[in-house]
Structure 1
C-alpha cells in the first residue's frame, strides 16, 4: 500500500507523550522523519531516552515541553514553543488522559477522602484532562493551521478515544462520558477535511498495556491473566501513524495474522483498535465485540466495590 502523505520533514505536537500510547506514536513519528514536541508533566525513563536520542543537530528532533494540559496558558505556550523550534506544525495529538482515578471519580464525589475535586470548585479534574484539554488543543491547532499554512498539504488532529466511547461501564461513568464526547467532537469536525484540508480523526483502543493500567491496582483487578489479552501501545501507534500518512488504513494488526482489509480514511474517522482494526460508525454500529484486546473479564469485582460504597451518607458534602 502506498503512503500518500508521509510525515518526513514535518512537525508534530503530542500531549501526554511522556509514556504509553502517545510516546509510542511520538516515537514512530520521529522514526519516520517527523519532528515532535512532547508535552507532558514529566518524562518516564523510556521517554527521556527517546528525547536524548533525537536531540542532535541533524535529522528529526524531539523537544520536551513541560505542560499541564489543564492550564490553557500552558497550552498556548506549548504551541509557541513548537513554532519557535520547528516553525510550522502539521500534526497535533491531544493525547493526554487518564482512566477514572480515585482522585476524580464518579463514585468518590467531591468531598470524599480520595477526591481532589472541591465540593465548591465547580470543576472535575477528569473532565478538564480528558475532554476540555482535547477540545482546547483542537481549537488552538485549527488556529495554528489557518495562520501558518505554507502549502495546501493536509493537516491532522488525531484524538485518543476508546471502546468506552461506545460501551457503558458502571465502574467509570465520567471516563465513558468523555470518550463518547470525543467521538462526537471528531465526527462533528469531519467537514473540515473536505473544505480546509484539516483532517480530524481518532483511535479507539481496547485494553492497552501501558502504565495507565499497569500501575493502578484498582484497574488491574478487572483483568484476568490468561483470558484477557493486551493490545500494545506500539500497535495503537501504528494505526495512528497510518491515519496521518495514508488515505486508506489497512487492518494493520490483523494483517500480520493473514488479514488485510482496507478502510478509507476521511475527516471524522474513528478506528477501534483491538487485536484487529475496524471503523466505528456513528449509526447502527454493532459496538466493540469480545475480540482479543477488548475484554475485561472481572469488571464485576470493581462493580461490587462500588455497591459497597453506596450506603446512606454517600455523596453528602463534607464541608
Structure 2
C-alpha cells in the first residue's frame, strides 16, 4: 500500500469476501487494523479465512455469516451480526458478484438473470441496510464493487455489463447521503483482474482476454483504500487500471438541458430533498429497530 492507513477500531462488512477481490480486501482491512464481518455463500472458504485471520491476532478480528445478498433477511442479519460482535459498522463494501454464461442472451425466455439479482439488486439491498447502521454510528462509507465494464459496452458479458452500469448509476445517485447521514458512497471499478469471474468467461472468440493487460491486486486494493479513506471522495467511481488508480469524473449533462433558472431551482429542491430523506431515514431506523 502506498498510503498511511489507519483503520484501528473501525468495523467493516464485506460481501463476497470469501475469495477473489473480496478476500484480498478483507485481508487488507484486517492488516490495517479493522475488524471485519464477511458475508458470502461460500461457507467453507469464508470460515477458513476467518480462522486464518483470527489465528494471527490476540482477539478475534473477523466473523463469517452465510449471506445470500439477494435476501433482505440475510442482509439484515449480516449487519446485525457486525453490530452484535463488534459494536457497529463504519465501512460497508458491497462486493459480491458473478458473471453468467454469455449465451444466456439466447436462453429460454423465462426466469431472471442471477447476475442482475446479485450484482445490482444485491448491492442496492446492501446499501439500504448499510445506511441504517452507518447512520446509527454517526456516519461512514459505502464502497460498491462495479467494474470498468460499468463504462463501456462488453458484448461477451452483456448481463454483467448491464449490472455494473447499474452499480455506477446507483453510486452516482447517492449525493444526498453525505448531508442526510454523513455517509459517503463510492464505487471501485477494476479492469480485468485474475479472479474466478475472469476464468468463467470461456466461450469461443474471447481469447483476447488471455493476452489483455491485467490489474495487479495491490492496485485494486489501493483503489478501495482511496474510496474508504479519502474523505473528499463521494459519489465517485474509482477505476483500477493496469497502470494505476484514477477517478473517473461523472458525465456532465448536455448544455442545452441546463438553464440558470434550473440550477437555482435545483439548489432549493435539494435542501427540501435532504430534509425529506432525513425524515425517511428516521422512520426507517425506527421500523428496523436500529
In 1, Cα distance between the equivalents of 2:249 and 2:115?
26
In 2, Cα distance between the equivalents of 1:163 and 1:216?
16
* 1:65 aligned partner: 65
Q: Does 1:129 pair with 2:96? A: no
- The CA deviation at 1:208 is 0.5
- The CA deviation at 1:59 is 4.3
Aligned residues of 2:100 and 2:114 also touching (Cα < 8 A):
no
Q: Map 1:94-133; keep pairs closer than 5 Å.
A: 94-101=94-101, 106-110=104-108, 119=110, 121=111, 123-133=112-122
In 2, Cα distance between the equivalents of 1:274 and 1:219?
26
In 2, Cα distance between the equivalents of 1:95 and 1:224?
22
Q: Does 1:172 pair with 2:157? A: yes
Question: Alpha-carbon deviations, 1:82-120, whole Å to 9, x = none?
Answer: 121111111001100012335xx6423335xxxxxxx2x
The runs of 5 or more residues in structure 2 that have no matched partner are: 254-290
- The CA deviation at 1:144 is 1.3
- The CA deviation at 1:281 is 1.6
Counterpart of 2:246 in 1: which secondary structure? strand
User: What's the TM-score once normalised by structure 2's chain length?
Assistant: 0.77
In 1, Cα distance between the equivalents of 2:204 and 2:176?
37
Check 1:184–1:73 CA distance in 2 against 1; reply closer, same or farther (3 A cut): same
4+ aligned runs moved over 4 Å, structure 1: none
* 2:78 aligned partner: 78
Structure having the larger proportion of residues in helix = 2
Aligned residues of 1:19 and 1:44 also touching (Cα < 8 A):
no
In 2, Cα distance between the equivalents of 1:134 and 1:233?
22
Aligned residues of 2:146 and 2:189 also touching (Cα < 8 A):
yes
Question: Alpha-carbon deviations, 1:172-223, whole Å to 9, x = none?
Answer: 2221111111111111102322453200001111001112223553399434
Aligned residues of 2:184 and 2:235 also touching (Cα < 8 A):
yes
- The CA deviation at 1:48 is 4.8
In 1, Cα distance between the equivalents of 2:204 and 2:178?
37
User: What's the TM-score once normalised by structure 1's chain length?
Assistant: 0.71
